[in-house]
Chains A and B, each alone.
Chain A
Amino acid sequence: MLAITEERPENSSSSVTEQLAALNTMPMTEIWKLWDRNFPRRPKHTNRNFLVSRLAFRIQEEAYGGLPAKLKDYLIDCGERHSKIKSGRGRERHLMPGSVLVREFEGQEYRVLVAADGFYEVNGKRFKSLSAAAKEITGGHRSGPKFFGLPEKRRE
Chain B
Amino acid sequence: MKGAKKKDLMAPGLNPEVRMKRCAVYCRVSSDENLDQSFNSIDAQREAGLSFIRSQQAEGWVPLDGTYEDPGFSGGNMERPGLQRLFRDIRSGVVDMVVVYKIDRLSRSLADFAKMVEMFDSCNVSFSAVTQQINSASSMGRLMLNVLLSFAQFEREVTGERIRDKIAAAKAKGMWMGGPVPHGYQVIERKLMIQPDEAKVVKRIFQDFAELRSVAMVIEALKRDGMNARSGKPFAHQTVRTLLTNRTYIGELNHKEKSHPGLHDPIIARDLFDCVQEIFDHDARLRGSRNPRTAFYALLSGLLFGPNGVKMLATWSRGKTGQKFRYYRMLGYGGKAQPTRRSMMFAMKEVDRLVLDQVYGVLKSPTMLESTILEVEKVRPDISELSVYQAMQNMAAIWNELYPQEQRKIIETLIERVVLSDQELEITWRLVDWNVSLDQLHPNGIPAELVRREAGGRMDMIKVVGEIQTINVEPSAEGERPVVKTVIPIRHRRKGIKNVIEPNPALAAEGVVPQEKPQFQMPLLTALSRAFYWQWLLDEGRVESGSEIARREGLHPSTVNELLRLTILAPDLVQRILKGEQPEGLSILWFTRNRLPMEWKTQFTAILAKDYN
Q: How far is the CA of A115 from the CA of B598 in the complex (A)?
A: 29
Residue of B500, B532, B567, B579 touching A100 (CB-CB under 8 A): B500
Of B357-365, B468-476, B535-543, the one contacting chain A is B535-543
Tell me, rounded to whole Å, the shortest Cβ–Cβ distance linking A16 to chain B.
Answer: 8
Point out the residues of chain B lying under 8 angstroms from A75, CB to CB.
528-529, 532-533, 574, 578
B574 touches A60 (CB 8 A): no
B598 touches A53 (CB 8 A): yes
Q: Does A34 contact B (CB under 8 A)?
A: no
Q: How far is the CA of A82 from the CA of B575 in the complex (A)?
A: 19
Of B106-114, B201-209, B306-314, B489-497, the one contacting chain A is B489-497
Residue of B493, B531, B544 touching A104 (CB-CB under 8 A): B493
B572 touches A3 (CB 8 A): yes
Q: Which residue of A lies closest to B493 (CB)?
A: A104
Q: Does A31 contact B (CB under 8 A)?
A: no
B contacts with A, residue count (CB < 8 A): 59
Known: A87-B537, A103-B495. A4 touches B570 (CB 8 A): yes
Known: A3-B600, A4-B600, A76-B529. A83 touches B578 (CB 8 A): no
Q: How far is the CA of A31 from the CA of B377 in the complex (A)?
A: 100
Q: Which residue of B lies closest to A154 (CB)?
A: B320
Q: Within B521-554, which residues are at the interface with A (CB < 8 Å)?
A: 521-522, 525-526, 528-534, 536-547, 549, 552-554
Tell me, rounded to whole Å, the shortest Cβ–Cβ distance linking A77 to chain B.
Answer: 8
What's the interface size class on A, roughly?
35 or more
Tell me, rounded to whole Å, the shortest Cβ–Cβ distance linking A124 to chain B.
Answer: 13
Point out the residues of chain A lying under 8 angstroms from B500, CB to CB.
99-100, 102, 111
B529 touches A96 (CB 8 A): yes
Q: Does B599 contact A (CB under 8 A)?
A: yes
Q: Does B499 contact A (CB under 8 A)?
A: yes
Tell me, rounded to whole Å, the shortest Cβ–Cβ distance linking B603 to chain A.
Answer: 9
Q: Within B586-610, which residues are at the interface with A (CB < 8 Å)?
A: 598-601, 604
Q: How far is the CA of A40 from the CA of B231 in the complex (A)?
A: 88
B599 touches A76 (CB 8 A): no
* A-contact 0/1 string along B483-527, CB 8 Å cutoff: 000000001011111111110000000000000001011100110
Q: How far is the CA of A56 from the CA of B569 in the complex (A)?
A: 11
Q: Does B261 contact A (CB under 8 A)?
A: no
A67 touches B574 (CB 8 A): yes
* B-contact 0/1 string along A99-122, CB 8 Å cutoff: 111111001000100011100000
Point out the residues of chain B lying under 8 angstroms from A61, CB to CB.
571
A83 touches B501 (CB 8 A): no
Q: Which residue of B lies closest to A44 (CB)?
A: B545
Point out the residues of chain A lying under 8 angstroms from B549, CB to CB.
85
A60 touches B538 (CB 8 A): no
Point out the residues of chain A lying under 8 angstroms from B601, CB to CB.
4, 13
Known: A79-B532, A98-B525, A100-B500. A57 touches B598 (CB 8 A): yes
Tell me, rounded to whole Å, the shortest Cβ–Cβ distance linking B518 to chain A.
Answer: 7
Q: Does A72 contact B (CB under 8 A)?
A: yes
Residue of B541, B544, B571 touching A3 (CB-CB under 8 A): B571
Residue of B568, B580, B600 touching A64 (CB-CB under 8 A): B600
Q: Which residue of B lies closest to A55 (CB)?
A: B598
Known: A53-B568, A87-B537. A100 touches B575 (CB 8 A): no
Q: Does B565 contact A (CB under 8 A)?
A: yes
A150 touches B497 (CB 8 A): yes
Point out the residues of chain A lying under 8 angstroms from B540, CB to CB.
87
A83 touches B544 (CB 8 A): no
Point out the residues of chain B lying under 8 angstroms from A98, CB to CB.
501-502, 518, 520-522, 525, 580
B533 touches A102 (CB 8 A): no
B518 touches A102 (CB 8 A): no
Residue of A41, A64, A97 touching B520 (CB-CB under 8 A): A97
Q: Does A84 contact B (CB under 8 A)?
A: yes
Tell me, rounded to whole Å, the shortest Cβ–Cβ distance linking A42 to chain B.
Answer: 11
A83 touches B534 (CB 8 A): yes
Q: Does A148 contact B (CB under 8 A)?
A: yes
Q: Within A48-67, which residues are at the interface with B (CB < 8 Å)?
A: 50, 52-54, 56-57, 60-61, 64-67
Q: Does A43 contact B (CB under 8 A)?
A: yes
Q: How far is the CA of A74 from the CA of B454 in the complex (A)?
A: 48
Q: Within B90-123, which residues are at the interface with A (CB < 8 Å)?
A: none
Point out the residues of chain B lying under 8 angstroms from A17, CB to CB.
599
Excluding A75-B532, A97-B580, A104-B493, 6 further A-B contacts by CB distance (< 8 Å) are A44-B544, A45-B545, A60-B570, A96-B499, A98-B501, A100-B502
Which A-B residue pairs are the 4 nearest by beta carbons? A98-B520, A79-B533, A79-B529, A78-B529
Residues of B within 8 A of A (CB): 320, 342, 491, 493-502, 518, 520-522, 525-526, 528-534, 536-547, 549, 552-554, 561, 565, 567-568, 570-572, 574-575, 578-580, 598-601, 604
A-B contact pairs, 26 of them (CB 8 A): A1-B571, A16-B599, A40-B539, A43-B545, A44-B544, A44-B545, A45-B546, A57-B567, A57-B568, A57-B598, A65-B571, A66-B571, A75-B529, A79-B532, A79-B536, A81-B529, A83-B534, A84-B554, A96-B522, A97-B525, A98-B520, A98-B525, A102-B342, A107-B491, A148-B497, A149-B495
